Amino acid sequence: MTENEWSIQQIGKIAGTTSRTLRHYDDVGLLAPSRIGHNGYRYYDQTALVRLQRILLLRELGLGLPQIADVLEREASEIPALESHLAWLRQEQERLMRQVASVENTITALKGGERLMAENMFDGFDHTQYKDEVEERWGKKAYADSDRWWRSMSADEKAAWQQQVSDLGRDWIAAAESGASPESGEAQALAKRHVAWLTGIPGTPAAAPGGDVKAYVIGLGEMYVADPRFGANYATSAGGTAGAEFVRDALRLYAEGNL
């Protein structure tokens, strides 16, 4: 073993994973060892370490192994892919720190019997972070309408809306973990709630007069699986994309039968 390579046991310890997991990654074609010694031991070089780092980052986002393989195949160049991921991580870090500060201030105010400052309670809950993406997908008017709607709400209304979103996500996860099928009454009732929520947001194709709600709902379900940022909202304790797939399938069935 050279100074620029590590044994499978060393990598498992450093990366916080197991030799069994690393061997599984090799079996499914995700991460092959750089070489196998005459004694049968697996060794990994720097290139393999970078690939493993990318795999673990994508796993943190909730992607399953097949989805990770697709991402790695599409983004073969490590540096641009890691730079993009780092930028996203920094953005999330900054947003989470703002949320932490907001919640800490709320707790301090409640403990001290102080008046809550509504304008300070939702820092970090920034819906504008997806402005460019919304405009690219659905046009500037779509974003302008939704932004105007959001800003018109009071702090209490915003809190109630966020609670509605949280409750819906929680109920989706509970249904998925209970083993319910997408065509079950429970799942279809959730799909109905989901569509009602979507159609209540100005600026979305679901709320636009004459919009193709059916196509929008089905497409959004597919995006929940393909985009880890959204799929994470439906991640079950088992990890991967099973929760998002459950939501996608239930939404598709509901849309095809009711929209």
pLDDT at residue 211, as a whole number: 61
The CATH code of the domain at 5-61 is 1.10.1660.10
Distance CA 170, CA 181 (A): 17
pLDDT at residue 186, as a whole number: 94
pLDDT in tens, the chain (259 residues): 567 889 999 998 888 888 999 999 999 999 999 999 888 889 999 889 988 988 888 877 667 788 788 878 876 677 777 777 677 677 667 667 766 777 777 777 778 776 655 555 555 555 555 555 555 555 666 566 666 776 777 767 777 777 787 788 889 988 998 999 999 999 999 999 999 888 877 766 666 666 678 887 888 888 888 777 677 778 887 777 888 899 999 999 999 999 8
pLDDT at residue 32, as a whole number: 93
Distance CA 130, CA 87 (A): 14
Q: Which of 177, 179, 190, 164 is nearest to 253 (CA)?
A: 190
Q: Which of 132, 113, 142, 133 is nearest to 202 (CA)?
A: 142
pLDDT at residue 140, as a whole number: 67
pLDDT at residue 259, as a whole number: 80
pLDDT at residue 26, as a whole number: 93
Element of type H or E holding 36:
strand 35-36
pLDDT at residue 106, as a whole number: 73
How does 132-170 read in b/e, with b if 16+ C-beta sit within 10 Å?
eebeeebeeebbebbbeebeeeeeeebeebeeeeeebbe
Domain ranges of the chain: 5-61, 77-125, 127-258
Residue 110, token pair as written in the block: 């409640």
Residue 201, token pair as written in the block: 């947001």
pLDDT at residue 24, as a whole number: 92
> Structure pTM?
0.48
